[in-house]
Chains A and B, each alone.
Chain A
Amino acid sequence: MTKKPLSPDLLRIDAQDEAARIENWVLDMVGKRFRKKGAVIGLSGGVDSSVCAAICVKALGAERIIGIFTPERECKEETNELGRLIADHLGITAIREDITELLKASGCYERRDDGIRMSVPEFQRGWGSKVVLPNILESDRLNISNIVVRDLDGNEIRQRMNTRSYLQVVAASNFKQRTRKMMEYYHADRLNYAVIGTPNKLEYDLGFFVKNGDGSADLKPIAHLYKTQVYQLGRHYGLPDIVLNRAPTTDTYSLPQSQEEFYFSLPYYHMDIALFAYHNGYTPLELSTYLSITPEQAERIYRDIESKRRMVQYLQSPPLILP
């Protein structure tokens, strides 16, 4: 059987059918399997959490949904505003929990800054920072990250990170996702609601989530959808344009950091096709033709996908137990 040539059309879904399918599944899971009364969703202002919220509203009723914002001092205010917009648009209760004091108490900022200083000794508190992976298309240097810092005058320094520094910065930053998730579980537990996980297929498959952070949930309604498909559902649900047009970010570092910079090294609509191609037996040559890159670059992408998937199988399984 000849495969169809790669194109965005291969990812197109019937949004109405798919929405209905997921909504029924959510009701079944929350009501029957978990015996819970509603759902809690962390609203980041991004399309994933917004679509999850829309699904749950249709499935369970707006009065049974709670949206939670968890801003902290390094968050952009825009995130909060977008989250609130979605909550109002869907007619759900919104709870705002500022987690800055929590992050200070756990030593998140301090420990992260110590990690940065292992690479940039002159780094000062209050400077902006973000972690960037090299573009996989440009080189084979996997897993060598750079830290970019910006001082108060706007000067930027870009520095390669050694392993210790990278691990420290990421481990400390992970307090943010975990603290957010703890807030979601707190509200869910007191109300006997389910916690919704918002990773999409790209994130779920490639491990772009924090264990016991955004990777934790009672159910994951869009883990089977490519990012392109999530946007399709977003349009189906009539989400505000400003949410649909916003580029995906990580909202973890104090400098704006796109997901592309931190983890994917390709824009999401290309990563979707690459992952689809990988899962459906397309050769690197076929991928390279579609993306207008060299076959070597396409091979690097496949190797990157493979190594990420290898690592993520542990993140996705329950704790290993001896039989």
Chain B
Amino acid sequence: MEFNKNVLYMNSENEVERIIGFIRNNVVERKKEGLVIGLSGGIDSALVSALCVRALGKEKVFGLVLPEKESNPVSRDYAEIHAKALGIRYEVNEITRELEAFGAYEKRDSIIMDLYPEYLPDKHRIKITLPGNILEKDGLNFFSLTIDDGKKVLFFERLKKHQINGIFAATDLKQRTRMMHLYYNAERMNRLVCGTTNRPETLQGYFVKCGDGGVDMEPIAHLYKTQVYQLSRHLGIPPEIIDRQPSPDTFNSQVGDEEFFFRMPYDKVDMFLYAWEHGIDMEEICNVMDLSKSQVERVLRDLTSKFRSTKHLRELPPSLLACR
């Protein structure tokens, strides 16, 4: 099996045609009238909406922009710019009130206040990160909380399990609330909800069950991030969206996907994922990527562990039903 720096390169137009066929078939087979997509202002949803418009025409694609008070303001701006450029109908629906009714902010903040009583939710910003780049230094995954006041770091500490579980349970409400709105609109219009998860996110479980993972169709789940960029450039996605740092956009202090989840830049994630999926041998990975055996081993260990522990997220909930 070949493995080199260009192994992820595709013929853009062919791939676009293939994905368009997939989108059309699904909508037609299920006798639906179109699609609904959550627009985050990021490259994945920009690419998916552009593909859906190519597949079905702009009247059959409806965009939903669902910001909340901690979202990066740029998210909403970029989402609107792109929706207008595509000519699709879209709606902006702030979900802050609902999240407050859930107590999402409050639940998370009370955990933080136990750790740092001087925490002021209205003045301070927070983020959660994993330890640094896994290629530079080995280390198991644990989460740390950073609190800053816009000028300097006020607090940094590793989180205990019950604290991180509590924080994620609260912040996952954001993605799940969005899911509810996407489905409300899709169901009232007899449409499908189109997902925007890409391949590394899918295989590593970087999505929220019943949140951004709870959709009817995933047209780019087979694409490595590098390929998402390739197709986005091919389809003329606005440069500011392409150049934007990929991030979960969940915390009011900006954190990127690398710091929060992958511990490596995307181009490396892609190459490792490809190598792991295709059983490329250790020596070749080391040569092509110019890394040591111990570096490669620790990344593959992390990759395998994340894949295995999130396997159930990619499958149907088990039951005792015999095969149909």
Query: What residues of chain A have their CB less than 8 Å away from a CB belonging to chain B?
Result: 21-22, 25, 29, 33-35, 101-102, 104-106, 111, 115, 163, 167-168, 170-172, 174-175, 178-179, 181-182, 185-192, 197, 201, 204, 211-212, 216-221, 223-224, 314, 316-323
Cross-chain contact A223 with B98 (CB below 8 angstroms): no
Contact yes or no, B165 A224, CB < 8 A: no
From A174, A175, A218, contact of B312 by CB (8 A): A218
Within 8 Å of chain A (Cβ to Cβ): is B214? yes
Chain B residue at minimum C-beta to C-beta distance from A189: B169
- Assembly CA distance A188 to B290 (angstroms): 43
Contact A197 B177 (CB under 8 A): no
B216 touches A319 (CB 8 A): yes
CA distance A178 to B98 in the complex (A): 13
17 pairs, A vs B, C-beta closer than 8 Å? A21-B320, A29-B318, A33-B312, A34-B312, A106-B181, A172-B184, A175-B184, A185-B169, A185-B210, A186-B170, A192-B161, A212-B210, A220-B317, A220-B318, A221-B320, A318-B314, A320-B218
Docked Cα-Cα span, A303 to B169, in Å, equals 43
B287 to chain A, nearest CB (A): 29
Q: Name B's interface SS.
A: helix
CB pair A182–B180 under 8 Å, yes or no, is: yes
- Chain B 200-219 interface mask (CB, 8 Å, partner A; 1/0): 00100000011001111111
Residue of B nearest to A223 (CB): B319
Q: Beyond A171-B187, A224-B319, A319-B215: 14 further Cβ-contacts under 8 Å?
A: A104-B101, A105-B97, A178-B180, A187-B169, A188-B169, A189-B172, A190-B166, A211-B216, A212-B179, A224-B322, A319-B217, A320-B26, A320-B218, A322-B222
Which of the 9-residue segments B151-159, B188-196, B229-237 touches chain A?
A: B188-196
Interface residues on B, range: 35 or more
Q: How long is the Cα–Cα vector from A106 to B102 in the complex, in angstroms?
A: 11
A112 to chain B, nearest CB (A): 10
Q: Are B172 and A185 in contact (CB under 8 A)?
A: yes
Pairwise interchain contact B318-A219, C-beta atoms closer than 8 A: yes
Asked if residues B221 and A192 are in contact (CB atoms below 8 Å), the reply is no
Q: In the complex, what distance in Å separates the CA atom of A317 from the CA atom of B166?
A: 30
Q: Which residues of B contact A104 (CB under 8 A)?
A: 101
Residues of B7-41 at the interface with A, using a CB-CB cut-off of 8 Å, are 18-19, 22, 26, 30
Minimum distance in angstroms from A308 CB to a CB of chain B = 14
CB closest chain-A residue, reference B187: A171
A172:B320 contact, CB within 8 angstroms:
no
Q: Taking the complex as formed, is B183 at the interface, i.e. its CB lies under 8 A from any CB of chain A?
A: yes
Q: B: which residues have CB within 8 A of A?
A: 18-19, 22, 26, 30, 97-98, 100-102, 161-162, 165-166, 168-170, 172-173, 176-177, 179-181, 183-190, 195, 202, 209-210, 213-219, 221-222, 309, 312, 314-322
| Shortest distance from the beta carbon of A132 to any chain B beta carbon, whole Å | 19
Residues on A with C-beta less than 8 A from B190 are 163, 167
CA distance A170 to B185 in the complex (A): 11
B221 touching A179, Cβ below 8 Å: no
Contact of B218 among A29, A212, A319 (CB under 8 A): A319
Q: Is B209 within 8 A of A185, CB to CB?
A: yes
Q: Which 3 A-B pairs have the closest CB atoms?
A: A171-B187, A189-B169, A190-B169
Give the complex CA separation of A29 and B319 in angstroms: 10
- In the assembled complex, the Cα of A322 lies from the Cα of B198 at a distance in Å of 11
In the complex the two chains form, is A223's CB within 8 Å of B320's CB?
yes
- A224 and B18 alpha carbons, distance in the complex (Å): 38
Q: With A167-B187, A185-B176 as given contacts, are A322 and B316 in contact (CB-CB < 8 Å)?
A: no
Chain A residue at minimal CB-CB distance from B23? A322
**Bound complex: CA A106 to CA B100 (Å):** 11
| Given known contacts A190-B166, A322-B19, A322-B221, A212 and B183 CB-to-CB distance under 8 angstroms | yes
- B166 proximity list for chain A (CB < 8 A): 190
A321 touches B320 (CB 8 A): no
**Residues of A contacting B18 in the complex (Cβ-Cβ under 8 angstroms):** 322
Docked CA distance A81–B249 (Å):
41
B187–chain A nearest beta-carbon distance, Å: 4
A61 to chain B, nearest CB (A): 20
Contacting pair A224 B217 (CB below 8 A)? no
Residues of B within 8 A of A319 (CB): 195, 213, 215-218, 221
A318 to B102, CA, bound (A): 27
Of all chain A residues, which has the CB nearest B195? A319
Closest to B99 in A: A105
Check A216–B195 contact: CB distance below 8 A: no
A33 CB contacts on chain B under 8 angstroms: 312, 318
Residues of A close to B101: CB separation below 8 A? 101-102, 104-105
Q: B319 near A220 (CB under 8 angstroms)?
A: yes
Give the chain B neighbours of A35 by CB distance below 8 A. Answer: 309
CB of B281, distance to nearest CB on chain A (Å)? 25
Specify which of A22, A102, A167 is in contact with B102 (CB 8 Å cutoff): A102
- Closest A residue to B98 by CB, please name it: A105
CA distance A318 to B321 in the complex (A): 16
